[in-house]
Amino acid sequence: MYVKRQKGWEIPERLATPESVYLNRRQILAASGLGLAAATLPGVASAQTDPSADLYPAARNSKYTIEREVTPESINTTYNNFYEFGTHKNIASAAEALPIRPWEVKIDGMVENEITTDFDTLIRKMPLEERLYRHRCVEAWSMTVPWTGFPLAELVKMAKPLGDATYLRMETFMMPDVATGQKQIWYPWPYVEGVSMAEATNDLAFLVTGAYGKPVAKSMGAPLRLHLPWKYGFKSIKSIVRFTFTDEQPQTFWQGLAASEYGFWANVNPEVPHPRWSQASERDLTTNERIPTQLFNGYAEYVADLYVGMEDQNIYM
């Protein structure tokens, strides 16, 4: 007899909001004018003014699900680390000042041909889909998000990296007149992150352009951010302007500040504490309950094989 065992990242489809219900709700809101009112709230992307608004909502990929309810949008758009706009969580209002049009994206380094493209041209070349992902912060809190975007592997394919490229370095914007946190000279601006090519082409690695069925909010990293659900949140760089393919492991933002606490790999592991606190459990932002942390944030079956033979490296920091 065949017995289907539920994987750690799966939930029954009945627990996720049906797409038909979600779309109908959007139509009702639009007809009543409530959609416009909601879009003008701080931290909520304005679908009415965003040139990519017609691309949302995208079809949900049922392969990527979560075992908890989706965190309310009102929480996810107003409780964020975005150091460019401040060291506290309440950066949503400040982030609204970020100009996201025009927005150029540069692809360079060890590629066949360097590319500079505007975001709206890039997004229309990519296969958009919605994925339900967990997000685990290194500070031991967590949320769940209905991201829309495309696999990072699709951008890698478009870039045509050379065979010697082993890492992908990513960089965010530099606008200190708008993002006043960038005036703090003790931080190594701009924010830089990096992944190995194996990680970049893994199925889970996702470039985010939207959330909650519309363009992603500025407070969440508009117009283009990364999400790596098996890693601590600081690896998921926001508001990306540059992708550089290289044969050298990039020096990342948090490595430059505290390499002993925030390493390059930063994979989630409940048994490996942060130097200043335990990672064994996490606080769910929806319920404020403490729940057990899972190895690789519950995505081990997708990514554990990426780190075989790396026992000599600290892959959990």
Q: For residue 121, with 0-12 CB atoms within 10 Å meaning exposed, 13-18 middle and 19 or more buried, which class applies?
A: exposed
> Would the pTM count as exceeding 0.75?
yes
Give the residues of the chain that fall short of pLDDT 70. Answer: 1-48
Which residues are CB-contacts of 192 (< 8 A; sequence separation ≥ 6)?
Answer: 169, 170, 171, 172, 237, 250, 251, 252, 253
List, as one string, the DSSP characters of 156-216: HHHH-B-TT--EEEEEE---TTTSGGGG-TTS-SSPEEEEEHHHHTSTT-EEEEEETTEEP
- In the chain, the amino acid numbered 169 is R
pLDDT at 49: 82
pLDDT at 48: 53
Round to whole Å and give the CA distance between 223 and 209. Answer: 6
pLDDT single digits (tens) 121-147: 999 999 999 999 999 999 999 999 999
Beta bridge partners of residue 231, listed in sequence order: 267
SS3 content of the chain, % helix, strand, coil (to 5): 25, 25, 50
pLDDT at 311: 86
